[in-house]
Amino acid sequence: MSDKIKITQDEKALALLAYLWILVMIPLLLKKDSDFCKFHVKQGLVLFLASLGVMILGMVPMLGWLIILPFGWLAITILSILGIINVLQGKKWKMPYIGQYAEKIDL
pLDDT tens-digit readout, 14-35 = 899 999 988 988 988 887 788 9
Domain ranges of the chain: 9-102
DSSP conformational letter for 72 = H
Looking at 8-97, list the stretches that DSSP marks H as alpha helix, in order from N- to C-terminal side.
9-17, 25-30, 35-57, 63, 69-88
Q: Among candidates 14, 68, 10, 2, which has minimal Cα distance to 38?
A: 14
pLDDT tens string 42-98? 999 999 999 999 999 999 899 888 999 999 999 999 999 999 999 999 999 999 988
